[in-house]
């Protein structure tokens, strides 16, 4: 008959267990790094209104940045939000309870009317890493161009283009034109005799024949006898076209989610000139995109199909597609744009 041996169980005293638990908690507390106090960004004012300003003038304002937190605050970067503003910070590191001065210079340029811009201050504040300041102004023109922007439209290659604009004093005061200059060597402007009261002048703007095709952007700058901070500037735009043209000249690729590709897009290249042409190359402007050329009528018409090789990165995509032909050294240009959402949930809301 087998006898079963009794089982012996050993229990640790409760006091020993509590001691070990207390010791482990102390070790864990000692190993964990202490929490570092964070800085907190604050502004004395949410923004500034520069008030009424003339065009081509500038004004400055100083913002006070304060650290209301218990830890140090570091200003990482200041984004003016517009090329019309410049910033200067006297200190990037602000101790607790300290402050820094941010000087903002606003340039009115050719703005006309109410101006509202947002400036962003990036800091180490974990609760408010991107703080904003509002900039406002009411810009009044000293001189008025009619039209405000001179659009020459499509101009046949090798042809001249002549347009007329008027330049007037905004308050009807007489002035004299001393000189006129242009940012383009092939673009000139001359002034005719002023009106009866001398407050309005006619300008004759001329574009010389061009051998290259493509977009045209230039400025006409006028010097007057008026003592102003800047010179009146007239923006001139247009495009020089040849017998070979592409349609459309701008394509929206689409709005897709992350990991998705843009749907295929097509554009047409047509030749209306007497000589046949060929497409030498097509550069989509991004390795993500692929262009395939199909000949519809040899030397006369082609189709370019644009597809996506792989999923593009999230965000805005802005590119320029270039089509090189035997017609001209200058390529045909097509503006491309598309949007890839960062997540599907954001796009569904």
CA-CA distances (angstroms) from residue 105 to 69, 86, 88, 134, 335?
Answer: 28, 5, 9, 13, 33
* Residue 312 to residue 261: CA distance in whole angstroms: 7
Domain locations along the chain: 41-140, 143-241, 244-348
Q: What's the fold here for domain 244-348?
A: Immunoglobulin-like (2.60.40)
Residue pair 313/340 in contact by the 8 Å Cβ criterion: yes
| pLDDT in the model for residue 111 | 86
280 CB-near residues (< 8 Å, 6+ apart): 324, 325, 326
Map residue 311 onto helix, strand or coil.
coil
| pLDDT in the model for residue 32 | 52
What's the rounded mean pLDDT across residues 131-142? 93
Q: How far does CA 349 lie from the centroid of its chain?
A: 26
* Residue 230 to residue 234: CA distance in whole angstroms: 13
Q: Is the peptide bond before 265 cis (omega within 30 degrees of 0)?
A: no
| pLDDT in the model for residue 14 | 55
What's the chain's Rg over C-alpha atoms?
Answer: 33
143-241 homologous superfamily: Immunoglobulins (2.60.40.10)
DSSP labels, 53-115: EETT-EEEEEEEEEE-SSS-EEEEEEE-SSTTEEEEES-SEE-TT-EEEEEEEEE-TT--EEE
| pLDDT in the model for residue 22 | 57
Instruction: For residue 211, name the pLDDT band (cuts at 50, 70, 90).
Output: confident
What's the rounded mean pLDDT across residues 82-101? 93
Instruction: For residue 8, name the pLDDT band (cuts at 50, 70, 90).
Output: very low
What's the rounded mean pLDDT across residues 292-312? 96
Instruction: For residue 345, name the pLDDT band (cuts at 50, 70, 90).
Output: very low
Map residue 38 onto helix, strand or coil.
coil
Domain 41-140 falls under CATH 3.40.50.170: no
Map residue 221 onto helix, strand or coil.
strand
Instruction: For residue 230, name the pLDDT band (cuts at 50, 70, 90).
Output: low
| pLDDT in the model for residue 221 | 93
Residue of 239, 236, 235, 293 whose CA lies nearest to 268: 293
């Amino acid at each position: 008959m087998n006898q079963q041996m009794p089982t012996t169980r050993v229990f640790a005293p409760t006091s020993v267990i509590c001691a070990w638990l207390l010791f482990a908690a102390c070790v864990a507390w000692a190993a964990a790094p202490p929490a570092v106090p964070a800085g907190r960004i604050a502004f004395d004012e949410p923004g500034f209104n520069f008030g009424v300003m003339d065009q081509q003038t500038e004004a400055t304002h100083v913002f006070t940045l304060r650290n209301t937190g218990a830890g140090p605050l570091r200003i990482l970067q200041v984004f003016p939000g517009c090329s019309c503003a410049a910033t200067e910070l006297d200190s990037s590191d602000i101790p607790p309870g300290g402050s820094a001065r941010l000087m903002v210079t606003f340039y009115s340029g050719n703005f006309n009317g109410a101006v509202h811009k947002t400036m962003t201050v990036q800091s180490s504040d974990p609760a408010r890493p991107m703080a904003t300041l509002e900039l406002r102004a009411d810009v009044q023109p000293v001189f008025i161009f009619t039209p405000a922007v001179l659009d020459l439209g499509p101009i046949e290659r090798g042809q001249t283009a002549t347009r007329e604009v008027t330049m007037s004093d905004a308050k009807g005061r007489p002035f004299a034109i001393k000189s006129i200059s242009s940012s383009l060597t092939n673009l000139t402007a001359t002034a005719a005799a002023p009106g009866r009261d001398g407050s309005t002048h006619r300008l004759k703007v001329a574009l010389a024949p061009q051998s290259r095709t493509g977009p045209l952007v230039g400025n006409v700058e006028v010097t007057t006898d008026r003592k102003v901070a800047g010179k009146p500037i007239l923006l001139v735009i247009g495009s020089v076209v040849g017998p070979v043209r592409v349609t459309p000249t701008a394509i929206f690729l689409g709005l897709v989610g992350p990991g998705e590709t843009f749907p295929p897009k097509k554009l047409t290249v047509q030749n209306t000139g007497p000589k046949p042409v060929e497409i030498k190359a097509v550069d989509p402007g991004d390795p993500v995109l692929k262009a395939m050329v199909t000949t519809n009528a040899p030397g006369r018409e082609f189709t370019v199909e644009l597809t996506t090789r792989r999923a593009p990165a999230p965000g805005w995509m802005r590119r320029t597609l270039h089509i090189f032909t035997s017609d001209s050294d200058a390529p045909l240009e097509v503006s491309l744009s598309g949007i890839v959402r960062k997540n599907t949930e954001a796009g569904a809301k």
